[in-house]
Structure 1
């Protein structure tokens, strides 16, 4: 055979063998790289697949609805306390004419006589007035027990219209609005008591105070002297 031809064929075989070895090395490197990349990504994918439901639990509307229902059953939110509605104050019933007078509508007063000093046998006199300031006519008991005139000297109770009253002792009168009821009385200068003595003693000379009262009403006082 031609030596040149053999030389050329031998050179081709040589380069072909070199190329085969290089390709084999590249294939091995590619296979190793693929194995590493697939082995590392596998667990990561599994991990991400396992953890994804806990990261985004609201993606499933059914689970979200069940979770909301369970939370509402476990701790129900307190219902708001209704605000107290103020009760309407009923308007007072209008008074009818002839009903008993209320004390707040009455004005009671007493005036003593013109003489502050009574000598000898002169008797002290007083004028008592009662006025209805209400809106309509009303009635009031102005008898000697209900509307009492009392005379005192210091702490000593000397005389009272409520002592030794004969009869029922009550006297109901109609009081028109603004029209005063007037009663005048005279004291005989004798003491009185609730035991109604036959001959009460005469009051001694001194300073005396006359007052009038009617329930809780008070009508001032009058000061005078006996000589």
Structure 2
């Protein structure tokens, strides 16, 4: 009875040892099959026989399934933006666009006018557009204004007779020029016959035309 018991004991020990060796061998095979090193195979093993169907490898099948499940989805193509509609070409004789006009003022810059001398100014308007255009350069549309601090002293828009409009054709690059001499008197909208004379002091001249503004011209009366 003792001998039989000893045999059974050792047989159980050998079974456990064999199972462990089998597990180690399977793990070693799995690691060696995923390695990057070259594998040596015989010609008969590398060339399967005609008509033979290779058995499916469960390990490779599992890897393929895992790769398909974790693959990143293809990015959705972004639609190209629609092209902006082209602007209609401007036709000669149409009203000028303010972006195509350059308004400037000359004269009355840090000058002193003593006695009866009158300040004089020169206004220029240039069309930089592609074609000839028209602009209203009348005393209301193109206003020349003289101020002293917050006091509005004189303006071409005051006491204008008629419509006060004067439409001019502006060729590209050819300036429209307007000269002005101020009589040193104030102006008002009520068109008084004898407006008072402006007092000695510092004055500022600007020209306005729509949204266009010239630089300030500063001068002094003595």
Please indicate, yes or no, whether the TM-score normalized by the shorter chain is above 0.5.
Answer: yes
**Partner in structure 2 of residue 112 of structure 1:** 107
Q: Is the 8 A contact 2:101 2:125 kept in 1?
A: yes
Q: Is the 8 A contact 1:111 1:221 kept in 2?
A: no
Deviation at 1:113, TM superposition (A): 4.7
Q: 2:202 aligns with which of 207, 210, 215?
A: 207
**Partner in structure 2 of residue 139 of structure 1:** 134
- TM-score normalised per structure 1: 0.62
Q: What does 1:17-56 correspond to in 2, within 5 Å?
A: none
Q: 1:169 aligns with which of 161, 164, 170?
A: 164
**Partner in structure 2 of residue 153 of structure 1:** 148
Q: What does 1:120-131 correspond to in 2, within 5 Å?
A: 120-131=115-126
Q: Is 1:86 aligned to 2:81, yes or no?
A: yes
For 2:92 and 2:167, locate their aligned partners in 1 and report how far apart those are by CA, in whole Å: 14
Deviation at 1:168, TM superposition (A): 1.4
Long gaps (5+) in structure 2: 1-75
Q: Structure 1 residues 114, 215: CA separation in 2 closer, same or farther (over 3 Å shift)? A: closer
Deviation at 1:115, TM superposition (A): 8.0
For 2:147 and 2:205, locate their aligned partners in 1 and report how far apart those are by CA, in whole Å: 7
Over the aligned positions, Cα root-mean-square deviation in angstroms equals 1.9
Q: Is the 8 A contact 2:108 2:205 kept in 1?
A: no
SS of residue matched to 1:104: helix
SS of residue matched to 1:213: strand
**Partner in structure 2 of residue 55 of structure 1:** none
SS of residue matched to 2:134: strand
Question: What is the aligned length?
Answer: 148
SS of residue matched to 1:220: coil
- TM-score normalised per structure 2: 0.63
4+ aligned runs moved over 2 Å, structure 1: 81-88
Deviation at 1:166, TM superposition (A): 1.1
SS of residue matched to 1:198: coil
Deviation at 1:86, TM superposition (A): 2.9
